[in-house]
Amino acid sequence: HATEPEKTKLKIAVGSQILNYMPVELGVKLGSFKEEGLDVTVENFQAGGSKALQALIGGSVDGTIGFYDHTIQMQAQGKQISCVFLLNDIPGVLLGVRSDLADKVRTGADLKGLRLGITAPGSSTETMARYYIKKSGLGPRDVNIIAVGSGAPGMVALEAMNVDALVYFDPIATLLARKKSATALFDARTIEGSKQAFGGSYPTACLYLQQSFINKNPETVQRLVNALLKTHRWINATPTEQLVDAIPPGYKTDNREVNIEIMNASKALFSPTGQMDIEAAKVPLAVLSDFDPKIAAAKIDLNKTFTNRFAERAAQQLK
Amino acid sequence: MSRRGRVALTQFAIVLGLILIWELGVWAGLIDSFFFPAPSTLVARIGEWMSTADFWTDIGITLLETVLSFLAGIGIGTALGIWLGLSPFAAEVVQPFIKMFNAIPRILLGPIFVIWFGLGLTSKVALGVTLVLFVAFFNTFQGVREVNPVVLANARLLRASKSSLLRHVYLPSATTWILSSLRVSVGMAVMGAVVAEYLGSSAGLGHLIAQAEGVLDATGVFAGIIVLSAFVVVLDAIVDCAEKRLLVWRPAPAHES
Amino acid sequence: MSRRGRVALTQFAIVLGLILIWELGVWAGLIDSFFFPAPSTLVARIGEWMSTADFWTDIGITLLETVLSFLAGIGIGTALGIWLGLSPFAAEVVQPFIKMFNAIPRILLGPIFVIWFGLGLTSKVALGVTLVLFVAFFNTFQGVREVNPVVLANARLLRASKSSLLRHVYLPSATTWILSSLRVSVGMAVMGAVVAEYLGSSAGLGHLIAQAEGVLDATGVFAGIIVLSAFVVVLDAIVDCAEKRLLVWRPAPAHES
Amino acid sequence: MGRPGLAVDLRDVMIRFGDFTAVKSMNLQVAETEFVAVVGPTGCGKSTILNTVTGLLKPAAGDVRIFGKSLTGLNGQSGYMLQQEGLLPWKTAQDNVGLGLVFQGSSIAKAREQARPWLAKVGLKGFEERYPHQLSGGQRKRVAMAQTLIMEPKIVLMDEPFSALDVHTRRLMHRILLDLWQADRRSLVFITHDLDEAITLADRVVVMSAGPASRMVADVRITLPRPRDVSALQTTDEFVALYREIWSLLGAEVEKSYVTQG
Amino acid sequence: MGRPGLAVDLRDVMIRFGDFTAVKSMNLQVAETEFVAVVGPTGCGKSTILNTVTGLLKPAAGDVRIFGKSLTGLNGQSGYMLQQEGLLPWKTAQDNVGLGLVFQGSSIAKAREQARPWLAKVGLKGFEERYPHQLSGGQRKRVAMAQTLIMEPKIVLMDEPFSALDVHTRRLMHRILLDLWQADRRSLVFITHDLDEAITLADRVVVMSAGPASRMVADVRITLPRPRDVSALQTTDEFVALYREIWSLLGAEVEKSYVTQG
Ligand SMILES: Nc1ncnc2c1ncn2[C@@H]1O[C@H](COP(=O)(O)OP(=O)(O)OP(=O)(O)O)[C@@H](O)[C@H]1O
Ligand SMILES: Nc1ncnc2c1ncn2[C@@H]1O[C@H](COP(=O)(O)OP(=O)(O)OP(=O)(O)O)[C@@H](O)[C@H]1O
Ligand SMILES: [Mg+2]
Ligand SMILES: [Mg+2]
């Protein structure tokens, strides 16, 4: 390396330990960051991505692994944060209905009048759900949206018939599939599913940082990105079984069989390049504008919400 | 000026002072309005909310949950406190368990209650109860044991039955203890309801706040907090009335002149 | 058999009974082990944890946070309670604000504290303090005002200064009140630390539990809860010792024979 | 094995607090319809003995028999006016007086109705609605007395009931007590420091030794004819002789206690 | 405008509780070095007046002067032994006695050292480490007395200090009180229901009318020469005359109160 990193001790926040965010902790475990001369601690905000974002804005952490949406929302509020490495270019989200309704509900339009569970109000599950509903030709009040919390409670709510449909991620997706208690209307763990639901790829988890931090510590950022790209390449090159064993504890269940199933279904999640496609970036903007009039009103400059320059350089450096 | 007047004036001055500092701080850029939005925007937001029907439904739901969990929590906690306060053996046996339960973070109980009681009112009330219950229990328990031994002996010598003792001696004697626990409990009940809504629901103040938080709308969060506070002040006024009625028999509090 | 022995035996029987029912329930399929894993697996998990160094670090961190927030919360709450208990005017002015603060759900305060105090120990302790503080405050406040007016008058007639009154009259008189609040506070301190860790951290028991919850690992969640409970029982034993030492002067509690 | 006709029968009763022996060996027999006064140096164990008779204290050794039956739990036949104040601070004077009636199942209204004449009797008309803390020391004592006597117990035990009253009011209270006793001859045990009072009221005056490890030192039978007119009596030779006797017994005890204390 | 040489000077003092007038108009002058006894029917307002002298109660009207100065706040010159028990339940007997010394800045060890002889004086040697609830009624009263007197206040106020003591112990306590008074002639005001006690101890006996709206009805000067030997005195004509006078004054008051109560 030509230059030394400006800062070696770094804190990265994740908003709860969902599979989408897994590479950063895997990177820590594999030593990818250490190889780049960085000492990275991952801080988990179990209550969700918005808390992780607040920690970044408040200066408690240096970077956050969170949804790309946040960079757009923040620009609307006058904060400059920028995505430097895209972890997922598909959302990994599913929308399923209870199995007993599977015959009646086959498309988004059939959700009319049903109760749809999301993780938390205002969360990306809600924005995505609302976008999908609208795309299916329904009005905002045609579906009852209920927050059921993430994880087990959502699953229970579906099984106990408290809700008719649910927006969910892995590992719930795999568990529900195994129990055959839900049928997916779309499965955005794959490119096709994402296309079907959102009309294209949909950038979700990414590493974003404050613009000022990026300006001040370019070498540090570069190394972060290097380490992440290295990890992603490792994920894509490693057989599922071995990968499952390597995954840090917070991201896998205690059932190895289920874990393998999950990884098989979700491996496509992890972008091989970490680079953002400007066309893809327009999708979340459209979704958000739809949901929040303030974002629609703000003139969002998407070029300021992400930069590929670190990922491109990393790709060169890691050849 | 009357004492009440002076109190109100001082309170008003404090509130006004804080609001001014805050507002000016935001204006001057010393306070980041992303985290701490200016009071004026908060007021505007609350005004906006008040003109929607949804807001009043939310308030109604949260109020119902709060009141139910308050009453149920106080009821159970007080009953448990009296029972254990009067039976030392049972107390020694049961107390460690109660203390253990009290240490379970309520955030973790939320999902379990959703599993048990579903997404409706019950799970919200259950969470509130678990917060209120312990405060009421520990104070009642101690209050019952604090009864003046001479007064108790006298009542027993007048051949009071167990239930008479409870009604005429233990309960009046524990009243200040129970009332003191109500003060904490009011806040706890509100907190319980809101946290439960926050963890999963489709309506209520907690939902409103969670929604605002989800879209990183600090104004909404703070406006919600302010509404909650107003809420507590109103509920607490009711406890005050109860206190005044129940404690007519006491000498004026022993203050230095 | 001695009374202590009988108590311990009954407790043991209760615990054993519950565990047996639970375990059998899981075996028989009546209890879904996905949500409520069998006690045997919990024990196994805790055993597993105990053999890792990380676990002990987690425990150490949480313990430190708990103890600090307990001490700080009690200190601030008691001081505030004494101050307001002794100055009726200040009490009337300040009390509504205290009650309002008490109603703010601590989940919402978590992020604010992270902003103010960073992600380290301080923000965790701050959250714990906000839970402990109010319990200690309300009880101390009431305890100070409950002092026997004749005893107080007598001490004043012996020309006690304000600080002497505090030390020799108000504090000893409020001791039972303060001790009673400690019982609730122990649990609250643990809860505060764990919730804060749950809201954002890289270590500690709360982190451990959050991690388990994220992957639907009920075994981990329950094992964490059990460790917390053990925690509280130990801390509470310390409060018990303090109580025994501080209250030597009291007549044996007035129980019915 | 209690003698027939004995309301209270203490046999070799020993009372200890930890390793402090308050009463070493007390034998006290009170017949039905008897009026006994107990006198003794301060701190000798008088209250302790009444506590034992009512079952508030368990003796470390010896036997307590009430109407021939060994006492277990609280004594259900006695009414006891404690030395310390035991009024319920959250009840008005009349509710305090009617308390025992309420405990026996009376309605509150009825208990009040019965309590009011008793309050008037003890000179507290107009104070029905006062809470204990709004009464003077002597007024509280009288409320406590009415509270005990309204129950018309078979055995009346009173611990320094009149010490906080002025001489005249005290005489009025004596009258009430004697009337009650004579109307339906009950057993009465009362503790006093006023020897005049003891001699004019009682059939027997029991003198206790100084504590600790106190015992009975004398049991003086008062043979003065009833009804006794206090003012007339006090100058009679018999009265003076009795007074002297008890006075010097007591004096010796108090002196002894000062000597042993060193 | 207080007269010189007056330790306590109450002028037209009126005391009310809500709309209940306890004392209508009280005038009480106590000279420096004077020993005054206050007697009166129960509930007439004696304690209330001492509370006013110490500043615990504010009069509704009238003037309270202590050594010529109008009283504001608590009276710093007086020691007051309350009628009710005011011992700190969490302090042992010796710590209770030494309490005032500690408040004045003594170390605890030093206060204890000074407290022990006082406990022995009031006959409580061996009870130093007892908590109040482990003492008998009379023992607590003596601790309270020692607690007040150890401070050697300029004005000593006592509310029925000896009523819970037997006659002999009471005499011993009188001795202590008189010794203290004579050694460094203080002002002494004490309330009692025992007329013998009032006459043998005091320079003046103040008689109050029955409550409510009580006032002073007589101020009897006791001219018996000091030192007074109680046993010898009680049969003298002068003593008997004084006793009769006060006795009948009181009797009339008590009767009146029963009449007004109906
Ligand atoms: N709880 C206790 N613990 C230890 N000692 C006690 C306790 N209660 C009473 N005593 C002691 O027992 C003795 C007798 O007490 P008791 O109250 O019976 O005295 P008494 O004769 O009623 O005195 P008085 O005339 O002063 O009321 C006293 O020496 C007292 O100190
Ligand atoms: N807090 C109060 N509220 C109302 N009335 C009161 C209060 N305190 C005292 N009183 C009344 O004032 C009168 C005088 O009371 P005080 O205690 O001075 O009587 P006392 O002369 O000391 O009587 P005793 O000899 O019985 O002690 C009584 O009638 C009493 O009922
Ligand atoms: Mg006694
Ligand atoms: Mg009095």
| β partners of residue D221 | D204
List C residues 178-207 in contact with A (Cβ-Cβ < 8 A): 198-202, 207
Say whether pLDDT at A114 is over 90: no
**For chain A, percent of residues with pLDDT exceeding 70:** 97
More confident residue, A286 or B178: B178
Highest mean pLDDT range out of A20-24, A184-188, C221-225, E61-65?
E61-65
CA distance D156 to D146: 12
Interatomic CA distance for residues B220 and C231, integer angstroms? 38
With bands split at pLDDT 50, 70 and 90, how would you rate the model's confidence at E144?
very high
CA E73 to CA D58: how far, in whole Å? 48
CB contact under 8 A, A55 and C114: yes
Q: Is the pLDDT of residue A131 over 50?
A: yes
CB contact under 8 A, E86 and C150: yes
Chain A contact probe: residue of B58, B113, B119, B219 with most A CBs at under 10 A = B119
| D172 has a pLDDT exceeding 80 | yes
Which amino acid would we find at residue C103? A
**pLDDT value at A314 more than 70:** yes
DSSP 3-state assignment of B196?
A: helix
Chains E and A touch (3+ CB pairs under 8 A): no
Maximal CA-CA distance, chain D: 58
Given this model, what pLDDT does residue E261 score? 60
Query: Chains A vs D: touching, with 3+ CB pairs under 8 Å?
Result: no
What mean pLDDT comes out for the span A217-231?
85
Look at D168 and E17 and tell me if their CB atoms are within 8 Å.
Answer: no
Per 3-state DSSP, chain D is made up of helix, strand and coil in percentages (nearest 5) of: 40, 25, 35
User: Above 60 in pLDDT, residue C255?
Assistant: no
- The token duo for C222 is 């329950």
Residue type, D14: M
Closest CA to A213 of A3, A70, A4, A10: A10
| A180: nearest Cα among A100, A99, A116, A265 | A99
Do residue E261 and residue D123 have CB atoms under 8 angstroms apart?
yes
In which band, very low, low, confident or very high, does the pLDDT at D193 lie, cut at 50, 70 and 90? Answer: very high
Comparison of pLDDT for A124 and C152, the residue scoring more: C152
Burial zone of E188 (CB within 10 Å; 0-12 exposed, 13-18 middle, 19+ buried) = buried
pLDDT band at E14 (very low <50, low <70, confident <90, very high): very high
When computed from its CA atoms, the radius of gyration of chain B, rounded to whole angstroms, is: 22
User: Is the pLDDT score of C254 beyond 60?
Assistant: no
CB pairs under 8 A between A and B: 74
Does the pLDDT at position E195 exceed 70? yes
**Would you say C234 and A89 are in contact if contact means Cβ atoms under 8 Å apart?**
no
Q: Is the CB of E126 under 6 A from ligand 1?
A: no
Using CB atoms within 10 Å of the CB of residue A142, give its burial: 0 to 12 exposed, 13 to 18 middle, 19+ buried: middle
Whether omega before E227 lies within 30 degrees of 0, making that bond cis, reads: yes
Kindly list the protein residues that place their beta carbon closer than 5 angstroms to ligand 4, a single-atom ion: D 136-137; E 47, 83
pLDDT tens digits for range B165-183: 999 999 998 888 888 888 8
For the segment E84-94, the average pLDDT, to the nearest whole number, is: 91
Closest Cα to atom 29, ligand 2: which residue? E43
The residue among D191 and A140 whose pLDDT is bigger is D191
- The stretch E233-250 carries a mean pLDDT of 87
Sign of CA dihedral E195, E197, E200, E203: negative
* Closest CB to C154 among E78, E82, E92: E82
Longest dimension (CA), chain E: 58
Buried/exposed code over B142-172 (b: 16+ C-beta within 10 A; e: otherwise):
bbbbbbbbbbbbbbbbbbbeeebbbebbbbb
CA atoms within 13 A on the CB side of A88: 28
Looking at residue B257, its pLDDT comes to: 40
Out of A77-86, B72-81, D183-192, E200-209, pick the least confident: A77-86
- The CA-based dihedral angle spanning residues A267, A269, A270, A272, taken in that order and rounded to the nearest 10 degrees: 90
The Cα E107–Cα E92 span in angstroms is 16
Residues 6+ apart with CB under 8 A from A108: A132, A133, A135, A136, A137, A138, A185
Among C3, C59, C65, C107, pick the best mutation site for testing chain B contact (most B Cβ within 10 A).
C107
CA end-to-end span of chain C, whole Å? 19
Q: Where are the beta strands (DSSP E) in D113-213?
A: 155-159, 187-191, 204-208
How many percent of chain A have pLDDT more than 90? 0
CA of D37 to the centre of ligand 3 (A): 13
CB contact under 8 A, C157 and E56: yes
Specify the higher pLDDT residue, E158 or A202.
E158
pLDDT digits (tens, 9 = 90+) for A8-44: 888 888 877 778 888 888 888 888 888 888 888 888 7
| CA-based nearest distance C75→chain E, Å | 22
Do C150 and E133 lie within an 8 Å CB cutoff? no
Residue nearest to atom 12 of ligand 2 (CA): E22
Out of D78, D88, D92, the one facing B155 most closely (by C-beta) is: D88
Which helix or strand (DSSP H or E) is residue E8 part of? strand E6-17
Tell me, in angstroms, the distance from the centre of ligand 1 to residue C188's CA: 44
CA distance C22 to C36: 9
| Chain mean pLDDT for chain E | 89
pLDDT, mean over chain A: 80
CB within 6 Å of ligand 2 — which residues?
Answer: D 134-139, 164; E 17, 20, 22, 40, 42-48, 83, 211-212
Residue A140 has pLDDT above 80, yes or no: no
**Per-residue pLDDT reduced to its tens digit, D113-154:** 999 999 998 989 889 999 999 999 999 999 999 999 999 898
Q: pLDDT band at D36, cuts 50/70/90? A: very high
> Given a cut of 60, is residue D262 above it in pLDDT?
no
Q: What secondary structure letter does DSSP report for C257?
A: -
Cα gap D208→D15, rounded to integer Å: 14
Report pLDDT digits (tens) over C134-150.
889 988 998 888 888 89
Q: Average the pLDDT over A256-279 and give the result.
A: 80
d(CA A265, CA A258): 11
Q: Which of 109-168 (B) contact A at CB < 8 A?
A: 110-111, 114-115, 118-119
Among B159, B249, B175, B208, smallest CA distance to B50 is for B208
As beta bridge partners, residue A88 has A270
SS3 state at E191: strand
Overall size of chain C counted in residues: 257
Judge if the upstream peptide bond of residue B96 is cis by omega within 30 degrees of 0. Answer: no
pLDDT tops 70 at residue A2: no
Q: Is there a contact between A156 and C115 if contact means CB atoms under 8 Å apart?
A: no
Q: What percent of chain C has pLDDT over 90?
A: 13
Least confident of B200-209, E200-209, E213-222: B200-209
Nearest C-alpha neighbor of B139 from the set B100, B185, B186? B185
- Tell me what the mean pLDDT of segment D61-68 comes to: 90
Residue A78's region, left for phi above 0, alpha for psi from -120 to 50, else beta, is left
Averaged over D50-66, what is the pLDDT? 91
Q: Strand order in E214-221's β-sheet?
A: E69-70, E61-66, E6-17, E20-31, E214-221, E204-208, E35-39, E187-191, E155-159, E78-81
Residue of the nearest CA to atom 4 in ligand 1?
E134
Tell me, using a 6 A CB cutoff, whether residue D45 lines ligand 1.
yes
Give the confidence band of B255 by pLDDT, cuts at 50, 70, 90: very low
The predicted-structure confidence for C204-253, as pLDDT tens digits, reads as follows: 888 888 777 766 677 888 888 888 888 888 888 888 888 888 887 777 65
- Residue E1: the pLDDT is 44
Q: A9-48 burial string, b = 16+ CB within 10 Å, else e? A: ebbbbbbbbbbbbbbbbbbbebebbeebebebbbbbbbbb
A165-168 β-sheet, strand order: A144-147, A115-118, A165-168, A94-98, A182-187
Q: Is the pLDDT of residue E260 over 70?
A: no
Cα–Cα dist A129/A168, whole Å: 10
Distance from CA of B102 to the nearest CA of A (A): 22
Residue D4 confidence (pLDDT) above 90: no
Separation in Å, CA of B202 to nearest CA in chain A:
5
Mean pLDDT for C19-27 is 86
Q: Does residue E2 have a pLDDT over 50?
A: no
The angle formed by the CA atoms of residues D181, D187 and D189, to the nearest 5 degrees, is 100
Test D100 with B151 for CB contact under 8 angstroms: no
Question: What number of other Cβ atoms are within 10 A of residue A190's Cβ?
Answer: 17
Whether residue D200 contacts residue D247, with contact meaning beta carbons closer than 8 Å, is answered with no
**Coil, helix or strand for C36?**
coil
Q: Is the pLDDT of residue B123 over 80?
A: yes
- Mean pLDDT value across residues C32-53: 84
| Burial of E231 (C-beta count, 10 Å sphere; 0-12/13-18/19+) | exposed
Q: Specify the pLDDT at position E4.
A: 52
Residue A258 reports pLDDT greater than 50: yes
Share of chain B above pLDDT 70, in %: 96
Tens of pLDDT along C102-112?
878 777 787 77
Contact D138, D169 (CB under 8 A): yes
CA separation, residue A51 to residues A150, A170, A297, D156 (Å): 15, 21, 25, 74
How far apart CA A177 and CA A94 sit, in angstroms, is 11
Please check the confidence at residue A1 and state whether its pLDDT lies above 70.
no
Q: How far apart are CA C24 and CA A134, in angstroms?
A: 49
Q: In this complex, is the C-beta atom of C103 within 8 Å of any C-beta atom belonging to chain B?
A: yes
Which residue from E57, E44, E43 is spatially nearest to E10, judged by alpha carbons? E57
Measured distance CA(B198)–CA(A148) in Å, rounded:
9
Q: Which ligand is nearest to the CA of E214?
A: 2
Is residue B214 helix, strand or coil?
Answer: helix
Highest mean pLDDT, choosing among A49-63, A198-212, E2-16, E94-108? E94-108
DSSP one-letter code for E218: E
Q: What are the φ/ψ torsions at residue D196 (nearest 5 degrees)?
A: -55, -50
Q: What is the pLDDT of residue C250?
A: 77
Positive or negative torsion for Cα D212, D213, D214, D217:
negative
